[in-house]
Amino acid sequence: MNPWTRPRTKLRPQLIGTLLSGLLLAACAAPPETAPLPAPTAELSVNTLTPPTPTSTPAPAATQPGATTAPIEPTITAADETAATAPIGCTPGAALTPAQTEGPYYKADTPERASLIDADTPGTKLILSGYVLTTDCQPVAGAWLDFWQADDAGAYDNAGYSFRGHQEADAAGRYELTTVIPGLYPGRTRHIHVKVQAPGGPVLTTQLYFPDEAANARDGIFNPALIVALQSTPASDAATFNFVINTH
């Protein structure tokens, strides 16, 4: 009877305490669990959103500068494609670049240089570039190219080495010559002379011509297969031509 009263009164506070602490624990545990759940969800979405946001923020930002870069990139891409298409555009079994007469003005032992002009050289600046390839469209690394041409006034330098120079194609078979558009001289259309040789291979002597030249049709040496692809800009002209040569 009464003996249970005390225990009861003692147990009750214990039970209450246990219950309270249980409730407290539950209360404490619940919020953290509940909190973390929304929190992570929120954080995840924030993080998920955040990264995209920054990523997409810079992305647009990059796109805008990129928009500035965009016009540049296509230009570069176009240039690269032009460069890349050159050899790629080559179909195995490609025709050899036709040989042409050397003419009377060749001089051996030209200086090694990729530019034949300086800042004061009269004439329209021309950058002539392209690849030296085999008939199987393989680059001829280290091919030797020796250029000579008339100056802007149509005169050859037979005393010195003006507008004469040789260079080697790079590992991709690419060459680039900086010069001016050669002038016309009596009896010939506009042209650039060149000798091309693979290491240890035979020398190809030929000439390059320009499109839309009235004198092309009147020149008995002219060969349309040797016309460069010409792109004129206000600053300079850019011409491309790929040589296909025998390597042995």
CA angle 224, 153, 194 (to 5 degrees): 40
Using Cβ positions, the residue closest to Fe ion within the complex turns out to be 103
* Region of 24-32, 99-107, 115-123, 219-227 interacting with Fe ion (CB under 5 A): 99-107
Q: Which of 151, 243, 147 is nearest to 195 (CA)?
A: 147
Number of helical H runs and strand E runs in the chain? 4, 9
Tokens of residue 136, six digits:
């199987």
Shortest Å, Cβ 164 to Fe ion: 12
How many of the chain's residues bind Fe ion (CB under 5 A)?
1
Q: Which of 160, 79, 155 is nearest to 123 (CA)?
A: 155
Two structure tokens written together for 39? 């929190």
- Least separation in angstroms between residue 217's CB and Fe ion is 18
Q: Which amino acid is at 222?
A: F
- State in angstroms the smallest separation of the CB of 149 from Fe ion: 7
Specify the stretch interacting with Fe ion by CB under 5 A; choose among 72-80, 96-104, 121-129, 194-202: 96-104
Between 103 and 201, CB nearer to Fe ion: 103
Nearer to Fe ion, 170 or 219 (CB): 219
Nearer Cβ to Fe ion (146/198): 146
Q: How far is the CB of 225 from Fe ion (least distance, A)?
A: 18
Q: Which is nearer to Fe ion, 103 or 123 (CB)?
A: 103
Q: Which long-range contacts (CB under 8 A, 24 or more apart) does 236-240 make?
A: 236/124, 236/125, 236/126, 236/127, 237/124, 237/125, 237/126, 237/127, 237/181, 238/126, 238/127, 238/128, 238/129, 239/126, 239/127, 239/128, 239/129, 239/208, 239/210, 240/82, 240/86, 240/128, 240/129, 240/130
Work out how close the CB of 176 gets to Fe ion at its nearest, in angstroms, rounded to a whole number: 21
Regarding 154 and contact with Fe ion (CB under 5 A), the answer is no
**What is residue 179's three-state secondary structure?**
strand
Q: Which of residues 100-119 bind Fe ion (CB under 5 A)?
A: 103
> Looking at beta carbons only, is 102 or 170 nearer to Fe ion?
102
Residue closer to Fe ion by CB (options 134, 207) is 207
Task: Note the residues at the interface with Fe ion (CB under 5 A).
Answer: 103
